[in-house]
Each structure stands twice: as structure tokens, then as C-alpha cells.
Chain A
Amino acid sequence: MTDQTIILLAQLLEPRLSDAALDFWQKSQREIAAGAEHSRFSALISMASRHAKRVPLTLSEPELAACKNAAPDWAPQHWNLLELLRVALICARNDLTEPSFTESFESLFVYADEGETCALYRALALLPAAERFVWRAGEGCRSNMVSVFSAMALDNPYPVKHFDATGWNQLVIKALFLELPLHRVIGLDERRSAELTRIALDLADERASAGRVISHDLWLCLESSHAERSRALAECLWPTADASSRSAIVLGLARAEQYTAVQQLAETESDIQVAHAIDAALGGQLNQTQFAHLVTDNSESEL
């Protein structure tokens, strides 16, 4: 957490608040910065809901760029206004690196409602010495509430930096299970592994046995190990796959370094969209953001 981040939070927040909410924020910020008691701090976090609603932030491009600049990979485009206010209030504390804050912050989770819980998990990306909260972050991923899980798993730079292999693989596979957009799991490109590939391919087998659809996003998980299984899965799905699915398969195989397989599939491809995807993949455009345009998930804007 730098002063720059605090200033940026205020800059994002203030133009979006009503006059009354602005007054609440400024007074509360001063009170918290002056060292308010835990009970008061906790009450202010709760009462924030009286002043800001769960409306989308709709950040501008320059604002998003400023966020990425302030904290690596910080991408709050799906936060709502109430979450931003709460995170700003948390960041207003003067003891963020101290045990007193650790205790106070952990205590907030015990009494938090759903909206507060999401905001607390989102705050992790901005807190100093954030490794203190790695267990708590794992609890967020164990949540059955999709909103809470998403706050931890999507657009959040915390997991890729702090989770061990088990926690990371669980997060990715759970996001797949919940049919969340995997391209928004920050750092997936770098943290693919042989184990994650195996788990994803096992999941594909399981879904095939159950007669269920295998989501596009599964292809994002694969890297070069278990190449035969990846190719076999592609060959099995290809004949009945629609254009989007074929694009996903091609991108997945290319990410798994199965270029020959991609070239073979290209020979029979007549769809212009898939042909573009093949050219792009063979041309090295392989990162997870390439997947975004393949995804047609209507729920995405709500998460």
C-alpha cells in the first residue's frame, strides 16, 4: 500500500458519491485515520451501505490504467461502488502493517454479511504484508457463495502471488466448475502446470462420462504435459464442436504447444472465425485475454 494507492482510491470514489455519501466518507476517513476503536471501525464498514449502493463503477480506460499502475495487475472493473467505499475505509487505517490491524481485519470476517465479505476479500489485493492473510484468502475460495468466491478468484492479483499449488489448482478448477470466466483468473497463463493439466483432463473425462458439455475455458488450463490426452480430447470433441468451441480447442492446443495438431485441424477448417483463431494461435497470440472474445457469458457483467 502506497500513498499513491490511497490517493487513487479517493479519486475513483469521490466523483461517484452523492453529497451526503461524500460527507460520510470524508468524516469516516478522518476518524479511522486518527485511530478509531475497532467497534467504531466495524460500524463504519457496515454503515457504508447506507451511503453507497451496489452500483457498477464503470471505470474509464485511464482510470483502469491508473489502477494497474498503482498496484500490479489490480483490476477493479467489476467492483461496485459500495465495495470501493469499504476498501477505501479499510485502507484509511494508520496501522495497516501492525498486528492490531491483522486482528481487527480478521474480526470483520467473523461478523461480515455477504456484501462486506466480498469487499474484505477484494481489499486483500491492496494490503501491505498481505501474506498474513493467505489462510483467510483460502477461506474465500472455499465459500459456497459464488459472489464471495468470485471476489477472491476473479480479477484479483492476490491468489497467483500467494497461493501454494494446491490452493491455486483448487481455485482454477472450482472456477471451471462454477462456469466462471477463467480468463479473468489473474496469472493463469504463468501458473499452468502438469498437475493442473492432469486435473483439468480428469474433469473432462468425468464430464464426458456424465454426458455433460465441456466448457471452453477448460482449454485455458492446459500446458505441454499430458500432450496425448490433450490431443485425444481435441479429436474427440472437434467433429461436433461449434465455431466458438473449435476456436477454444485451437487456442488450448497451441497453449499446450501442440502446433502440429493445430496445423492438422487447420487443413479441414472452413469457418472464417475459426480460421482467424488458428492464424492468431499459430502466430503466437496465446495469452488468456485472447479467450475473452470467445466467451459469451451473460452473467459476467454481474460478477
Chain B
Amino acid sequence: MKFFDPHIHMVSRTTDDYQNMAAAGIRAVIEPAFWLGQPRTNVGSFVDYFSSLVGWERFRASQFGIAHYCAIGINSKEANNEGLAREVLEILPNFALKEGVVAIGEIGYDEITPAEEFIYQAQLKFAVEHDMVVMVHSPHRDKKNGVIRSIDVALEMGVPPHKLVIDHNNEETVQSVLDAGAWAAFTIYPNTKMGSERMTEIVRQYGPERIIVDSSADWGVSDPLSVPKTAHLMKERGIDPAAIELTCWGNALAAYAQSGQIDVEALMQDAVIDQSQSYSDNSVLRGQQPRVDEPVKN
């Protein structure tokens, strides 16, 4: 079975992770722009970071048979540094319209401040003007209120609900998102957010329509294999295989392929790895023989 992890921060992960992900059947990932665990101090840091998302990281993923797409945006935390965030808004179009950028994201609220509101709205406006999908990060604190507000503001700004993905949902927020007609994504974290078992129950209760499973794996305690692990648990617990396919592959593909940036047909083919390739003369290899092999079996 093929899996799509539509939210994962691969810049923080190792090549072991890439190998394990490919072996577990992950065929494609989306890497939304976020923060570095600590705030950046100047716009140059953002330029290099965005550049790595559309450059080196995409190449690195390809070396393990994983298609890498990304979302570009200013995260909610750093939106609070108003001067810097405005500078980043200026350079955003240089990256947001690149090939393989499937959404504006992850954007939204953290503390629900006026500064976050300004940057969120500016980016929603950009997304509407360029007919882009929007990936929204929902806040940790005052989450329910934050989710409702994220949706209301996005719809007001003209984002059609079918191009709106609200992420990091839980039992308390899912109904509002589905009622609005948006996509409801769930982050499976070992200790916080949502576990595989709870996810299984949500799919049982709400069905698979517009529900998306992701890992949001990053530099914190998180699991890049969350999507396949959750799929296996759903299978064990008797969830309909068609529902598993939708929540762990099909829905994410349908949501983000609206960008026109995903070659769905190519994704359906098995990946071919050619590690003899390099990126700006830089290889992922450290003296090993390059692996040039058969397609990865999914």
C-alpha cells in the first residue's frame, strides 16, 4: 500500500528516516514551511530556508524514492516579529510560485494576536490571488476557538472551503472543520496531539470523507512513520480498507493536487532511485556506492 504524508518537516530528519519511510510505503510527502524551534533574526534566514525546501530537500527525498512537495508561508509564531514578518512577506512570492509548491502554509494562529492576524490575512490574500491551496496550522492553546476563527477568516478572505486544509485537529474541532466544508487533517504524535488509536476511532465515527492523517514529524519527539503505523492499526481494528486508502493517501492527494503541482500519474508508478545523481555537485552519499536500482516496492 502507498502512503502520502502531507505534513512532515524533513529538514529535521535523517537519511535513516527517509530509508525507513520508503520501506514502509511512503511514496510522497509535503513539507510545509515552519519555524526552526527558535525564532529567526533576519530575512536572509528565511530566504535560505525556503530555498532549501524547493532545492536540496526535494533532491534528498528523491534519492530515497520519495516525491517531495512543499508549502511556503510565514508561520504564526514568527508573525509576531512584525518588522521581520513584513520583510518575509516581500520575498514570499519568489518561492511560493515555484514548481512543486502545493500550498501556502503552514499559516494561521499561535497566540491569536493582531500581528498574527495581519500576516495570516496577507497570506490568505496571496493564496486567493494565485488560486492556491492553504494549509492552516491550528493553535495548541485555545484551540477550538482558534480553529473556528481560522476558518471564518479564510472563508471571508475568499478561500474556497475545498482549498482549505485545517491541520492538527482533535475530537473537539473536527466537526466544525467538516461542517465548513474544509479538509480536516490530524497529526499523529506519540505523546501530544493525537494518537493512532484515537485516530482510528475518529475515522470510525466520522467516516473517511475529507479526513487526512499526517505525522508533522520535526525536530521534536515525533514519528515519521505515523501514517503507515496508523493505517496498520486501522486495518487491525477493522476499518474499511477504502477508508484507510482515502485517509492515508487519496484525500491528501485530492486536496493538494488542486494546486496542479502534483503529477498524480507519476506518483502512481513505483519510484526509481538513482543515487548517482547529484545536486549542485553535492550528493547524499558519503563514499558509498550509489544505489541505482529497481523501483521501490510499495
Contacts and interface: CB of A to CB of B under 8 A. Distances in A.
A166 B111 contact: yes
A198 B80 CA distance: 24
B142 A173 contact: yes
B110 interface: yes
A193 interface: no
B142 A142 contact: no
Interface residues of A, number: 23
Contacts of A142: 39, 77, 80, 110-111
Contacts of A206: 143-144, 170-172
Interface of B: 37-39, 41, 77, 80-81, 110-113, 140-145, 170-172, 194, 198
A202 B172 contact: yes
B170 A199 contact: no
A177 B141 CA distance: 8
* Chain A, interface SS category: helix
A170 B140 CA distance: 10
A268 interface: no
Nearest to B111: A170
Given A166-B111, A169-B142, A177-B141, 6 more contacts: A174-B140, A202-B142, A206-B144, A206-B170, A209-B172, A210-B171
A211 interface: yes
Contacts of B145: 199, 202
Highest count of chain B CB atoms <10 Å: which of A167, A173, A205: A173
A210 B198 contact: yes
A110 interface: yes
Nearest to A111: B41
Contact of A177 (B77, B140, B172): B140
Contact of B38 (A138, A143, A167): A143
A145 interface: yes
B225 to A, nearest CB: 21
Given A110-B41, A166-B111, A209-B171, A138 B80 contact: yes
Contacts of B170: 206, 209-210
Contacts of A145: 38
A214 B152 CA distance: 30
Contacts of B142: 169-170, 173, 199, 202
A139 interface: yes
Contact of B141 (A138, A199, A205, A211): A199
Interface in A150-185: 166-167, 169-170, 173-174, 177
A270 interface: no
A144 interface: yes
B268 to A, nearest CB: 36
A206 B174 CA distance: 12
Contacts of B39: 139, 142
B198 A211 contact: yes
A211 B143 CA distance: 17
Contacts of B111: 138, 142, 166-167, 170
B172 A205 contact: yes
Contacts of A167: 111, 113
Nearest to A211: B198
A90 B39 CA distance: 23
Contacts of A202: 142-145, 172
A205 B170 CA distance: 11
30 contacts: A110-B41, A135-B80, A138-B111, A139-B39, A142-B39, A142-B110, A142-B111, A143-B38, A144-B37, A145-B38, A166-B111, A169-B142, A173-B141, A173-B142, A174-B140, A177-B141, A199-B142, A202-B142, A202-B143, A202-B144, A202-B145, A202-B172, A205-B172, A206-B143, A206-B171, A206-B172, A209-B172, A210-B171, A210-B194, A211-B198
Nearest to B144: A202
Contacts of B77: 142
Rank and list the top 4 A-B pairs by shortest CB-CB distance, nearest first.
A209-B171, A173-B141, A170-B111, A199-B142
Contacts of A174: 140-141
B295 to A, nearest CB: 39
A162 to B, nearest CB: 15
Query: In this complex, which of A110, A144, A205, A209 has the most chain B Cβ atoms within 10 angstroms of its Cβ?
Result: A144
Interface in A222-275: none
B157 to A, nearest CB: 22
Identify which of A135, A169, A210 gathers the most chain B CB atoms within 10 Å of its CB.
A210
B112 A139 contact: no
A205 B173 CA distance: 11
Contacts of A135: 80
A232 to B, nearest CB: 16
Nearest to B35: A144
Nearest to B220: A144
Contacts of A139: 39, 80-81
B115 to A, nearest CB: 9
A119 to B, nearest CB: 17
